[in-house]
Amino acid sequence: MDPTILGDSTNLAWAVLVVSGMLEAVWATALGEVRGIRRPAPLIIFVLAVIASMAGLMYAMLHIPTGTAYAVWVGIGAVLTVVIAIVRGTERATLARILLLIGLVGCVVGLKAVS
């Protein structure tokens, strides 16, 4: 990918960090589906997503302070993991849960804004 598409390397790092956070939700969800080696598909998805997610986080940390990058990565992954669980019906969508997720999203956006 040409870094000039997204501007400087910091913008690219933020884009990679967002995708890596999304992949965190993929691997966390897949990990919840792994039932030993009898179900290899979720295990394969987990392994590939965790490798890609960590590689993206590592790249982002070259351009974004470690604490900020990690907090954003975890925040995106946590919010999307809960949203996936709500959509799949494995967790309930309560008002409190939705408000807290909105708060997490606000914190992630805030960390980007002050960086």
pLDDT of residue 1: 47
Domain span at residue 45? 3-114
The pair of three-digit structure tokens given for residue 85, joined into one six-digit string: 């669980």
Q: What is the DSSP letter of 100?
A: H
Number of domains present in the structure of the chain? 1
DSSP secondary structure letters along 3-36: GGGGSSHHHHHHHHHHHHHHHHHHHHHHHHH-BT
pLDDT of residue 10: 87
pLDDT of residue 3: 46
pLDDT of residue 115: 79
pLDDT of residue 79: 96
Q: Which residues of the chain have pLDDT under 50?
A: 1-4
Residue type, 38: R
For 18, half-sphere exposure in the C-beta direction (CA atoms, 13 angstrom radius) is 10
For 75, half-sphere exposure in the C-beta direction (CA atoms, 13 angstrom radius) is 21
